[in-house]
Amino acid sequence: MGIERFEDIKAWQEARRLTQDIYRHTTDGAFARDFALRDQIRRSAISVMANIAEGFDRRSQREFRNFLHIALGSLSETKSHLHVALDAGYLDQEAFASSYEQCNVVGKLIFGFIRYLSGFLANAEDDAS
C-alpha cells in the first residue's frame, strides 16, 4: 500500500508521537510556567509535523524534499530545547533521553525519505535526458 495522505507517512506519525511527548512534558510544573521555552519547544515539534504534511501536499518531489529539510531543522531545534529543559531541571534524565531518542527516530525516517526522494529525482532527471 502506497502513501496516499500525509498521515500515512511513518516520519509524520513518529513526529506526532514526539509532539505528544513534548506536550506531556510541558503541561505541568516549572516547565509549564517557563512560557518562552514551553512555547518554543512546542512550536518546533509542531513544525516538524507541519513541514512533512505541507511538503507532501505540494505534490512536487523537489518541494517535498525541501520541506523535509526544513523539518530536520525544526527537529534539531527541538533537540536543542530539550537540552535547555534538562539543564533547567524541567526534565529528568529519563524523560530527556526518551524524547531525545524519539527525535532520533524521526530524524532517521526523514533522512530515509530524503534519500528516497533524491533517488527518485535523479532517476527522473536521467529519464529526461
pLDDT digits (tens, 9 = 90+) for 23-82: 999 999 999 999 999 999 999 999 999 999 999 999 788 999 999 999 999 999 999 999
Can you tell me the mean pLDDT for 13-30? 97
pLDDT at 97: 98
pTM confidence score: 0.90
Lowest mean pLDDT among 67-71, 110-114, 124-128: 124-128
The CB density around residue 39, as the number of other CB atoms within 10 Å, is: 11
pLDDT at 129: 43
Query: What is the fold, at CATH topology level, of the domain defined by 10-128?
Result: de novo design (two linked rop proteins) (1.20.1440)
Model confidence band, residue 125 (pLDDT cutoffs 50, 70, 90): low
CA atoms within 13 A on the CB side of 123: 7
Q: What is the mean pLDDT of the chain?
A: 93
pLDDT at 121: 62
**Does residue 29 contact residue 90 with C-beta atoms inside 8 Å?**
yes
The CB density around residue 107, as the number of other CB atoms within 10 Å, is: 19
Q: Render the burial of 45-64: b for 16+ CB within 10 Å, e for the rest.
A: bbbbbbbbbbbbeeeeeeeb
Q: Is 128 a residue whose pLDDT tops 50?
A: no
Q: Which amino acid is at 125?
A: E
